[in-house]
Chains A and B, each alone.
Chain A
Amino acid sequence: MTDNFQDQMFDFLFRKGIENFVGVPDSTLKQFISHGLKSKKIIITTREEEAIGISAGMILAKSPTLVFMQNAGFANSLSTITSLIQLYKFPLIFLIGWRGFKKNDAPEHKKIGQIQPKLLKDIGLQTRIINKNNWKKFSSWAINKMKNGDSCALVIPREFVD
């Protein structure tokens, strides 16, 4: 499976100081989330904006935090990202699944999957695309961004269709 690195990535981010992982489940990220649930570091919310709000609160209490979501959820969150995270300059790491990446993915993911890279670019959220070979390098990149007070996004493409 292509997503075997997700357990290691969770442990790595935790060791590097991320104390909270808040978000809405995503099948692309299920291994990352299941692994985090075992160690009780995960909070599951009803919607993505809510996860971003809780994360902002945790950062206000000086506790480094990551939010995770599907790309449909990223689309839900645009206003919150621009009017809360970017406006107040919260150093938050986004972990976003990327469906609609493969041409034969389910129809509801196609449109948002196509425009996601452009949306991220247009709102000015710096992004790295993660895979099993580069996850460590880009996780470190994200940690450094956070330490410098910036938000950023790590995107995991869904390489398989089930």
Chain B
Amino acid sequence: MSEIGDSPIVAANGFISRDLFNVKDKKTNFYMIGSMGLASSIGLGIALKKPRKKIFIFDGDGNILMNLGSLATIGKISPNNLIHLVFDNSIHESTGGQPTGSDVISIEKIARACNYKHVFKVSTKNGIVKILDKIKKHSGLTLILIKIEKGNSIGNRISKTPKNIKDGFIKNL
């Protein structure tokens, strides 16, 4: 997380938001607790209006498959400052581990076809750190597909109210 520092993060609903909240809460995290699929769209909106800041999206395979059209829209506009991380465990872990199908289809190929400039696939912590270091130096729409295993613990629910999450984010962006 130190590679991301204070950069704004939009986190998808379910365990992704909960894990981020428990690991590194900060005012510039937007925890999307409902509206599954839309973290990437929210991130695009921020990125377009804050072109000098790097905006991170913490997405999941289930989330991105629910709103694949967002990859087309993001790629069509191709903001230079958007870093789209997809945590891919091939299941809907938050709802009990049902399969998403991302073990069969290729999210990285879809991203490339949708005009993402840099696409990476990693499966180790070291690998993630290396890529985050590397992209510090270059700009361009980026997707990092992070293959992960199913977790074995569930993070606490987010204790802030939605309005506080939003207002804190706006104030500190």
Q: In the complex, are the beta carbons of B34 and A53 less than 8 A apart?
A: no
A51→B49 CA distance, assembly (Å): 15
| Residues 101-141 of B at the A interface (beta carbon under 8 Å) | none
Instruction: Flag the segment in B17-25, B92-100, B145-153, B163-171 that touches A.
Output: B163-171
A104→B163 CA distance, assembly (Å): 43
B7 interface residue (CB < 8 Å to A): no
B contacts with A: majority SS: helix
| A80 touches which of B35, B40, B50 (Cβ 8 Å) | B35
Q: In the complex, are the beta carbons of B38 and A80 less than 8 A apart?
A: yes
B30 interface residue (CB < 8 Å to A): yes
A36→B45 CA distance, assembly (Å): 18
| Binary flags per residue of B7-38, CB closer than 8 Å to A gives 1, else 0 | 00010000000000000000000101111011
| Residues 69-89 of A at the B interface (beta carbon under 8 Å) | 79-80, 82-84, 87-89
A58 interface residue (CB < 8 Å to B): yes
Q: In the complex, are the beta carbons of B34 and A83 less than 8 A apart?
A: yes
Q: In the complex, are the beta carbons of A53 and B166 less than 8 A apart?
A: no
B85 to chain A, nearest CB (A): 16
| A50 touches which of B10, B67, B77 (Cβ 8 Å) | B67
The 4 closest A-B pairs by CB, nearest first: A57-B45, A53-B41, A83-B34, A46-B69
**Could you pull out 6 A-B pairs where Cβ atoms are within 8 angstroms?**
A49-B41, A51-B41, A56-B38, A56-B45, A61-B49, A83-B34
